[in-house]
Amino acid sequence: MPDVHLGKGATVGSVIPTLRAIIPSAVGVDIGCGMSAVKTSLKATDLPQNLRNLRLTIESLIPHGRTDNGGRKDKGSYQDINTMPDLSHKLWKSQLEQGFENITQKHPLVRKGNTLNHLGTLGTGNHFIELCLDETDSVWCLLHSGSRGVGNRIGTYFIERAKKDMGKKKKDLPDVDLAYLSEGSENFNDYVEAVHWCQRFAKANRQVMMSLFLSAIQKEPSIPPFTAHLVAVDCHHNYVEKENHFGEDVWLTRKGAVRAGKGEYGIIPGSMGASTFIVRGKGNPDSFLSCSHGAGRRMSRTQARKKVTLEEHIEAVSGVECRVDSEVLDESPAAYKDIQVVMAAQQDLVEIVHTLRQVLCVKG
């Protein structure tokens, strides 16, 4: 994909078809990470001139960031499940609890850590919440997150199981991170069950956060009543599914890529100071019906912290209500590729339906 950059197990921005096997490290540990977007009936003129109070309200409602090494006192989790949104409990009970029990009965090591109390939380790194305007000044709500701590635990656990399953055959691999699980094996079946559960958790996580995001806007006294979900898009960009391509059933891993089947909607964000695109797939078979998932990094986080100054960051996000401190320099627009160039390189994969520009951004 045109946003490709280095990653563990596989480059981020890869589409990998495999026959009768899956490479857990290629899928990665941010299983089910993806985007959600909702168009509202609001217009730019309905928003207050200063969006700082709205940003602070969003930050107070949705746990974000990471402290305590991701432990029980992590500020990015709900430390008391009794204070969690009702929707978190509802989705956990109806869609996730039994599946988690089934997985952890067989693999108890993945139980330990934040799970339910991460349902409705943003995380850190490149995860974000944004208020955006489209080409007609309609207001959109946009967010980016995945399966949080439990996805990381499950991904890491099965990466090691794959290496163990390979045994002596590991030495024949170009890289140990290409260790795979073979279809029909017990670990393969358990991984497919677990990874699909993580993808459901990730989607539910975005659903809870979107509900909280919309409620934060409703709490702003100067914003008039509105309706949402005029257009709603949700898509994974780190996941694996069984699909048929070129006449064969394959396990297709999209690591930093979005499905772009003909007529299917997707979301391709830029950096926190650049455009985001709502797109419609063209169904190009040569890309395995896929497109890029974003701009893609051009600097590592370490490089960005060394090279991007706070003054440069402030200038790059001018006009966007967001944090402007040294803690977010690794997410500064300069750390990413030019999204316009990325979009120009995939005109055969997607068509642009809406172009969004952010006016507010919350980072973990």
Phi, psi torsion values for 315, nearest 5 degrees = -65, -40
Check if the beta carbon of residue 117 is closer than 8 Å to that of residue 78: yes
For residue 135 the two structure tokens come to 């080409």
Residue 68: Cβ within 10 Å count? 12
Q: What residues are labeled active site?
A: 293
The Cα 239–Cα 14 span in angstroms is 11
- The b/e string for 200-218 (b: 16+ C-beta within 10 A; e otherwise) is ebbbbbbbbbbbbbbebbe
Characterise 108 by phi-psi region: left (phi > 0), alpha (psi -120 to 50), beta (else). Answer: alpha
For residue 28 the two structure tokens come to 């990665």
CA 250 to chain centre: 23
Q: What is the DSSP string of 139-179?
A: EEEEEEE--HHHHHHHHHHHHHHHHHHHGGGGGGSSSGGG-
